């Protein structure tokens, strides 16, 4: 046994601890792996989960543009010999669009698979993504021009930039 074998086993175990999710089924697509819905500025998505026994929604999320909602259901099973069924747990997370690996850190109880429906609706586009705080705006070059609301060429042929006031 070489030194790389324990490292490979540790890497494989670490990769199995967090899920791999994608709109196309991820690494090993199968039934029950999870659901991923991506919202874009031209196709903003709302996901509603409905309990078909009462026809009431038990979860609704307006996914912001540039984000994705990923969720999966874990059916409760009892390890004892009793016929008692444990509740179904829905785990979900909101990630940046395109993320495929992560943990679903939020949980709630959900109806069994035979009693739930996923409704997808699309909101009216265009919808702007949330503002990016890392976006670099040009600095105000001439404070007198911005105070008067004018943008004039500064000496040397460069123009002044005015930043919109909030």
Q: Is residue 133 in some structural domain?
A: no
Average pLDDT of the segment spanning 114-122? 93
Q: Which domain holds residue 54?
A: 17-78+86-125
pLDDT in tens, 74-101: 887 545 544 455 688 999 999 998 887 7
Give the total number of structural domains in the chain: 1
Q: Is residue 143 in some structural domain?
A: no
Stated as kind and residue range, the H or E segment containing 109 is strand 106-110
Is the C-alpha dihedral spanning 77, 83, 87, 90 positive or negative? positive
Q: Which residues pair with 88 in a beta bridge?
A: 110
Q: Note every long-range contact of 75-80, with CB atoms under 8 Å and residues 24 or more positions apart, other chains counting.
A: 75/112, 75/113
The pLDDT assigned to 23 comes to 52
Alpha carbon of residue 94 to chain centroid: 3
User: Band of the pLDDT at 24, cuts 50, 70, 90?
Assistant: very low
Q: Is residue 65 in some structural domain?
A: yes
pLDDT in tens, 133-149: 777 666 655 545 545 55
Q: Is residue 141 in some structural domain?
A: no
């Amino acid at each position: 046994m070489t030194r790389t074998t324990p490292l490979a086993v540790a890497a494989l175990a670490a990769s199995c601890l967090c899920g791999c999710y994608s709109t196309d089924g991820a690494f090993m697509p199968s039934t029950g792996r999870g659901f991923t819905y991506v919202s874009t500025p031209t196709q903003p998505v709302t996901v509603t989960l409905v309990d078909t026994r009462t026809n009431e929604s038990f979860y609704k999320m307006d996914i912001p543009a540039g984000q994705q909602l990923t969720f999966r259901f874990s059916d409760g099973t009892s390890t004892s010999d009793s016929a008692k069924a444990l509740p179904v747990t829905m785990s979900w997370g909101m990630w940046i669009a395109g993320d495929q690996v992560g943990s679903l850190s939020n949980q709630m109880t959900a109806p069994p698979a035979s009693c739930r429906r996923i409704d997808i609706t699309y909101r009216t586009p265009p919808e702007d993504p949330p503002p990016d705080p890392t976006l670099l705006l040009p600095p105000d070059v001439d404070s007198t021009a911005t105070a008067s609301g004018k943008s004039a060429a500064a000496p040397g042929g460069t123009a002044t930039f005015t930043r919109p006031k909030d």
